Amino acid sequence: MSAKKIWITDTTLRDGDHAMSHKYEVDQVRRIAQALDEAGVPVIEVSHGDGLGGSSMQYGFSIEEEEKYLRAAAEVIKRGRMAFLLLPGIGTRHDLERAAKIGAKVARVATHCTEADISEQHIKMAKDLGLDVHSFLMMSHMTSPEALAGQAKLMESYGADCIYVVDSAGAQLVDEARQRVRALRHALEPKTEVGFHAHNNLGLAVGNSLVAIEEGATRIDGSACGLGAGAGNTQTEALVAVLDRMGIETGIDLFKIMDVAEEVVYPIMRQRHVPRIDRGSLTIGYAGVYSTFLLFAQRAAEKFGVETRDILVELGKRKMVGGQEDMIIDVAVELANQAKSKPRRAEARA
């Protein structure tokens, strides 16, 4: 492995927001951001799980105003840089400008893996505001490496500084992750960085991140304690430990980031949700379903008396993606109705 320095972005305060059911308190955001910064994390992402403007009926309401979270983190991040996520169609120009004014330095503009063209306006806005732009190609298992590289070239042409292969479903096997990162690295200009964002639904988050580094990725996402959607993300402290053993520099103090996870993040996440590879999250990885669907599917299963796993499998068959959360209820209702009709059909045959 030729990499000498890897830049880690910690997503505890963004992807972790999904696992926390969008119930972060402002003081919790402040404490986590400060602890991550003191541990030497270079980029700390802060926003609703679905990005700026995501607090809504569709995606789940935060308990505080978005601006309060951003300001709390900006006040304590001294060494690193604050980032935010923005999905075109959810976040607006006003949201982007406000985040930059508050102190964000990195804009992470995300689209579905086949819809890079909708990111042009937001990438260019962010560049005009002087931000670094890291673009996301989400659910990247749903298209070929070659097609993914073509989408990445579009984002590069709009001005993106780094383009991420995003395994939103935690569905990619090792070779699948390798092929996608390799395709981007070969297609993009040398000055354009490649990143990788994993979910651990198949237990491959750290392994796939290492494969991404082997293929030229220089930016890797993680979250403390793995706090994130589904079975969680690449565990920041575990990744730092592995890279340290490999002689790859991250600039993060290993023992400090271990303490952040154990003493700051874990006590908070225990109040809401501890991600793990359970039946539901494993089904997400197996079926290739958006990781953020897990808690929605669990709630729908309980409400309509069906199995979470059955909902997730059906969503996978229908190739549902982020933004189609309303379909989770529809699927749960259909499954419940099917279950009710089975006894009647059996009686009719008798």
Active site residue 112: no
Distances (CA, A) of 81 to 19, 33, 123: 23, 10, 18
Q: Are 92 and 53 in contact (CB under 8 A)?
A: yes
Please tell me the distance from the alpha carbon of residue 304 to that of residue 316, in angstroms, as a whole number: 19
Q: Using CA atoms, how far apart are residues 192 and 298, in angstroms rounded to an integer?
A: 39
Quick check: 147 and 117 in contact, CB under 8 A?
Answer: no
Alpha carbon of residue 153 to chain centroid: 21
Tell how far CA 312 is from the center of its chain. 18
The catalytic position among 18, 48, 122, 197 is 18
Alpha helix segments (H runs only) across the chain:
15-19, 26-38, 66-76, 93-102, 120-128, 145-158, 174-187, 205-214, 236-245, 254-259, 266-269, 279-287, 293-304, 308-317, 326-349
Could you give the 3-state DSSP secondary structure of residue 22?
coil
Alpha carbon distance 126, 100 (integer Å): 8
Beta bridge partners of 84: 107
C-alpha 202/C-alpha 208 separation (Å) is: 11
Q: How many CB atoms lie within 10 A of CB 139?
A: 24
Q: Which two tokens stand for residue 181?
A: 């990162």
CA pair distance 93, 233, nearest whole angstrom: 28
Active site residues: 18
